[in-house]
Structure 1
Amino acid sequence: MENEFIVDQLELLVKLWDLHGVNEFKSKNLAFATRALDKFPNSIAKATEDELLALQGVGKVVISIIRDVAQTGTCSDLEGILEQTPAGLLNLLKIKGLGPKKVQAIWRDLGITELDELLAACEEGKLVQIKGISEAIQSNVMHYILFLKQNASKLRLDKGHHLAEDISTLLLNKFSKVQIVGELGRNCEIISSLDFMLLSDGGFGASLVLSEIEELEEDFQNSSPFVWRGNLKGHLIPIQLYFVEEKDWAIQSLKLTSNPAHLALIGFDEMKLQGAFSTEQSIYDALNIPFIIPNMREGLEELNWASKYQIDDLITFEDLQGCVHNHSTYSDGKNSLLEMAEACREIGLSYFGIADHSQYAAYAGGLKPERIADQHLEIDALNNQLNDIKILKGIEADILPDGSLDYDASILSSFDYVVASVHANLQMDLEKAMPRLLKAIESPYTTILGHPTGRLLLAREGYPLQMSKIIDACVANRVVIELNASPYRLDLDWRFIYEAQEKGAMISINPDAHEIKGILDMKYGVEIARKGGLLKKNTFNTLSVKEFLGYKS
């Protein structure tokens, strides 16, 4: 079993113990152990007993639970308590703002065990009857449930790609040619449908062939001889499979990969396009329009962009020189400075920037001043040891509620760069969010504005901002805007990249990596950046290390 799965199961056990009022010491001890395991850099399933015993909260009993989960995916404690728990309560435990104790009270006092029941209670104003739940909490819970229900069948970009790979494998067993189209074909940040083109001879046998794939469930009411609709068993996201003949492949590829707004923008009319086209390029040529890459086919600024720039001007992963928003074991990361730096070197980067959490983020092991001094000493030693990659001294400094940065000037000035981010007090209206971020941007120590809106895709909406004013402030103060490449965030929203770079802003594609594998999230960031037409020359981490360090000078 993967580490993430094991940790998730243990976290669920802790929540259920708290929900049922199981021995508080036992629950807290497992919670400590789970946090330590979440940062464990190696395979939990393969760890020795001595390695596990060295972790906080891990004793013989916890090791037994870990071994069971690693080998079977569950354990007797978890199975036993799940039998006592109405299934719907597991969804209630996922709601932000409701911990196990509040869920216990809702279950006990209101008899609520399902999301729909909880939503109805919020709408009727009953939730505030529970001690500790205010009108504001009730409103937030109702908003969150509606948000979850609206997005229940959608996927993040990374999840969409992983599931599409599985589906493609199934389809290629039956069809000689399969192509991903639709939102995933454009690398949208949120995927509401997985769409594919399948090579067909134009007959009506393709649907019968699909019926042989047991993993697929057809929606007979909405399918047709030309389009199969349904889903993959165990998944809510809709699937659409288009049967296309070879002679129509290029024109259908363009049509199905484009947002309808893009087709309207380029004057695409399938009926008026005469003759066979072998490539999408030939179709754009026939329309007398520059070729637009699939990512950009959204019907926004792509034609204006294409009148000024060439496709070769777009950022690529190979253009990146450095990786500058990363976390290590000094805060809440899973790998050491050296391990993270070596991983960056292995993918051809020339500098690695550490930006561990600042002290205000105590929940994430934020660095006290003495820990910063220790880290800087280690970085100096590593830079003396390494000759083919440079480690930069950065910090992800919390933007405090009043807009100031965590730490005083003497500490902030010790860093090579500062990523300024909001992590706490996220429930802000425009009147609170704008002054807070503008003050942080105006700080002379801010190098990069981190994940500007604080959103978590399909989990949390970002706080409201007047993005044009944020961009203007960043340009005026030579502050770089982060495109946080974590597929959980992808923030800055790509739709603002056009405006940002036209105004002269620099964008930094940062993975916000908390372990080695997270570094490659920059690939998602590059795909999203290309959607907004980001140019290599406007991408901050394409600069050399000397140019990077001299940017704010």
Structure 2
Amino acid sequence: MVREDELIKILKNIAKLLELKGENPFKARAYINAADTIKKNNINIEEAVNNSTLADLKGFGEALQKKITEYVQTGKMSYYEKLKDEVPAGLFEITQIANIGPAKARKLYYDYNITSLDLLEKACEEDILKNIKGFGPKLQELILVSIQHKKASKGRYLQEKAAREAELLSNEIKKINGVDRVEITGDYRRFSETLNNINLLISTCEKTTEEKVKALLENYNSEIPIKVEFTDRNNFVWFLHQSSSSVIFNKEFEKFALSKGLSFKNDSIIFNNEKIVLKNEEELYKILNLQYIPPELREHPEAIEISKEFKIPDLIKNEDLKGVVHVHTNWSDGKNSIPEMADKTKELGFKYIVISDHSRSAAYAGGLSIESVIQQHKEIDNLNNQIEGFKIFKGIESDILPDGSLDYPEEVMKSFDVVIASVHSSFNMSKSEMTKRIIYALMNPFTHILGHPTGRLLLARPPYEVDIKDVIQAAADYGKVIEINCNPYRLDLSWENVIYAKEKGVKISINPDSHNSGTISDIFIGVKVARKGWLESKDVINCMDSIDFYEYIKSL
């Protein structure tokens, strides 16, 4: 079975290896473009090879087609293996650090004998790096932070990556005769932002079935470690609940259960000295006279106390969302047109979309000039005149400039229905400077929503220095909305900060930050963050219909 995400990773690594060898940049770029084409268009690469349609993809020449065909047929790409042999592993490793591109990496490796992350870290700690031309003290500090972040993240994987892997594997296991039930548990089911393994709970009564599952796993190529637990159908619910809860939650839950006469002994669930079989987790809670606690909330024992009082909120669900906020189009750095993004949004069952391309300071992302804003608004007006039962709002993702101001003069800002204010540059401010910058933007009467508030990229870039609690308090003080950015690499606000925002009365917008129509559905990842942050539909502005949404935005 070919996994597109692995092929995309290989193609991007080839590009980096070519750059490290000093090859023609256009040659390297071709592999990046190929990876982007596969990802943005959700290409089933195995089908493309089998149907001989690779050649139909833009930029897929004969040589690239041969390499991909080899990968599909053998699981390997000899060209990639050859490149890895030609480039020192330490040199490639150094390029995994933020702010170090191939040119800087080559300089460090060949001119200063910095051949590993450990040596790079040592060079930063000993103030060697800051004296090398092209670096300096500030970059040295950023590189050191990036190294430490990378080391701390080692062995962790994104929830989205784990989800794809776990669902594929789960479906394969379900095909094995003798398997009654398979559930993905652990950090995945509680929706931790990152996880270190995939946990599977499998119900079967046959030892031979266990052996078949183990044989499948031995031949299954997975970057993420897989842990499997077997049980029989009578005890499945007990272990499902246990394996879907944190250690500290489990400890308190089992203590409470024991006080009510429920325990697990001798491979059986015992209630009031009788063996019982549970149909589902809800029944487990009912026996204990507790309100059901969804897996996302099983982090801290406090949830048990709230459950005793039957005050667990009715958490937001996918179907509660009415509109999609924060999408980019080919007016800036998105792939699809406004009609294409609107059509996909309608197809997913939503009633409105907020187009929010980049503002003019984001030149790297094709930010809109004032003239482009005017032209885009004309297109949106024309489309709205043609569409019934669906609304396209005029939005912008305005850069928060270093001084905290937004990116257009007042007369332009007035023309937008929705303004999302985000930091995209000058990340290296002090904590107090960055906090003041963002709060100043929240004070702006044209700001409606704060985008990706901490700027983090999970497993890649730590948040910039900011007092996020002060920012959340400012949003409460000035009546502004904060985004849960649903990009799998961001998930920003974090669920912990979502809880704090709710406590302060700050409304949330669950936003996919889509740059192509295929990622609009990332909004449902954000729902999981919202649920883990204890949000109800009333806490989320895009659970409003289009009229109420617009009126709410205009009241800010």
Paired position in structure 1 for 2:218: 215
Could you tell me whether the CA contact under 8 Å between 2:360 and 2:367 is conserved in 1? yes
Q: CA deviation at 1:499?
A: 3.1
TM-score, length of structure 2 as denominator length: 0.84
Correspondence for 2:90: 88
The letter for the 1-side match of 2:250 is: L
Summarize the alignment of residues 459-474 of structure 1 with structure 2, pairs less than 5 Å apart: 459-474=460-475
* 1:179–1:9 Cα change, 3 Å: closer
Q: Which moved more, 1:506-515 or 1:142-151?
A: 142-151
User: Quick one: distance in 2 between partners of 1:499 and 1:519?
Assistant: 27
Answer yes or no: is 1:281 the counterpart of 2:288: no
Residues 360 and 366 of structure 1 are in contact (CA less than 8 Å); yes or no, is this contact kept in structure 2? yes
Q: Pick from 99, 114, 117 the counterpart of residue 116 of structure 2.
A: 114
Q: Matched residue of 2:327: which SS? A: coil
Provide the rounded CA distance (Å) in 2 between the counterparts of 1:525 and 1:339.
22
CA distance in 1, matches of 2:416, 2:323: 17
**Structure 1 pair 140/349, CA: closer, same or farther in 2 (3 Å)?**
same
Does the 8 Å contact 2:358/2:367 carry over to 1?
Answer: yes
Q: Residue 253 of structure 1 corresponds to which residue in structure 2?
A: 240
**1-side partners of 2:510 and 2:406: how far apart?**
22
Tell me whether 1:416 sits opposite 2:417 in the alignment. yes
Deviation of residue 168 (structure 1)? 1.7
- How much does 1:19 deviate? 3.1
The C-alpha deviation readout for 1:314-343, integer Å capped at 9, x for no partner, is 211111111010000111111110000000
Residue 100, structure 1, aligned to residue 102, structure 2: yes
Letter in 2 for 1:239: I
1:318 partner amino acid: E
- Does the 8 Å contact 1:394/1:417 carry over to 2? yes
Structure 1 regions of 5+ residues with no counterpart?
53-57, 217-231
Aligned match of 1:193? 197
- Structure 1 length as normaliser, TM-score? 0.85
The answer for the alignment partner of 1:27 in structure 2 is 25
Structure-2 residue corresponding to 1:222: none
Aligned to 2:533: 532
Distance change >3 Å, CA 70–CA 350, structure 1 → 2: same
Identify the residue that residue 230 of structure 2 maps to in structure 1: 243
Range moving further from structure 2, 285-294 or 121-130: 121-130
1:376–1:293 CA distance, 2 compared to 1 (3 A): same
| Counterpart Cα distance in 2 of 1:403 and 1:523 | 31
In 2 relative to 1, CA 170–31 (structure 1 residues): closer, same or farther, beyond 3 Å?
closer
- Matched residue of 2:433: which SS? helix
Please list the CA deviations of residues 93-145 of structure 1 after superposition, one character each: whole Å capped at 9, or x if unmatched. 22211111111111211334433443344444443453212233233223322
Q: Specify the SS of the correspondent of 1:335.
A: coil
Stretch deviating more after TM superposition (124-133 or 149-158): 124-133
For 1:63 and 1:47, the matched residues in 2 are separated by 9
**Structure 1 segment 421-460 matched on structure 2, within 5 A:** 421-460=422-461
Partner of 2:296: 295
- TM-fit CA distance, 1:71: 4.5
Structure 2 CA distance for aligned equivalents of residues 521 and 437 of structure 1: 26
Q: Percent identity?
A: 36
Does the C-alpha gap of structure 1 residues 270 and 193 become closer, same or farther in structure 2, counting only changes over 3 Å?
Answer: farther
Q: Judging changes above 3 Å, is the alpha-carbon distance between structure 1 residues 91 and 248 closer, same or farther for their aligned structure 2 residues?
A: same
Could you tell me how far 1:178 is from its partner in structure 2? 1.6
State the partner residue of 1:226: none
Relative to structure 1, the CA distance from residue 266 to residue 117 in structure 2 (aligned partners, 3 Å threshold; closer, same or farther) is same
Classify 1:432/1:168 alpha carbon distance in 2 versus 1 (closer, same or farther; 3 Å).
Answer: same
Cα RMSD of the aligned pairs, angstroms, is: 3.2
Of the structure 1 ranges 71-80 and 255-264, higher mean CA displacement relative to structure 2 is found in 71-80
Judged with a 3 Å threshold, the aligned counterparts in structure 2 of structure 1 residues 265 and 430 are, in CA distance, closer, same or farther, namely farther
Distance, in Å, in 1 between the alignment partners of 2:234 and 2:30 is: 61
Bigger helix fraction: 2
Whole-angstrom distance in 1 between the partners of 2:238 and 2:35: 51
2:267 maps to: none
Q: What's the offset of the Cα at 1:497?
A: 2.6
Whichever residue aligns with residue 433 of structure 1, its letter is: M
CA contact (8 A) 2:246 2:299 kept: yes
Contact 1:284–1:291, Cα closer than 8 Å, also in 2: yes
Q: Distance in 2 between matches of 1:208 and 1:490?
A: 38
Give the letter aligned to residue 90 of structure 2: G
Q: Is the 8 A contact 1:264 1:299 kept in 2?
A: no
AA partner of residue 202 (structure 2): L
Tell me the CA shift for residue 239 of structure 1: 2.7
State the 1:422 CA deviation. Answer: 0.8
User: Kindly tell me: are residues 4 and 376 of structure 1, through their superposed partners in 2, closer, same or farther at Cα, counting changes over 3 Å?
Assistant: farther
CA distance in 2, matches of 1:263, 1:33: 47
1:343 match: secondary structure: helix
Long gaps (5+) in structure 2:
263-269
Equivalence for 1:219 = none
Q: How does 1:89-488 map to 2 (within 5 A)?
A: 89-128=91-130, 130-172=132-174, 173=176, 175-201=179-205, 208-213=211-216, 215=218, 233-235=221-223, 237-266=224-253, 268=255, 273=262, 274-275=270-271, 276-278=276-278, 279-299=280-300, 302-303=303-304, 306=307, 307=309, 309=311, 313-488=314-489
Conservation of the 8 A alpha-carbon contact between 1:39 and 1:333 = no
For the residues of structure 1 that align with 2:540 and 2:191, how far apart are their CA atoms? 19
- 1:66–1:171 distance in 2 versus 1, CA, 3 Å: closer
C-alpha displacement of 1:293: 0.8
Superposed displacement of residue 185, structure 1: 1.4
Residue 48 of structure 1: how far off its partner (Å): 7.1
C-alpha contact (below 8 Å) 2:297/2:534 kept by paired residues: yes
Give, in whole Å, the separation in 2 of the partners of 1:341 and 1:2: 29
1:305 and 1:533 in contact (8 A); partners too? no
CA contact (8 A) 1:192 1:238 kept: yes
The alpha-carbon distance between structure 1 residues 143 and 498, as it changes in their structure 2 partners (threshold 3 A), is closer
Matched residue type, 2:225: P
1:480 Cα offset (Å) = 0.9
Q: Look up the SS of the partner of 2:155 in the other structure.
A: coil
Letter paired with 2:372: R
- Deviations along 1:390-438, one digit per CA (max 9) or x if unpaired, are 1110000011111111111111111001011111122333212210111
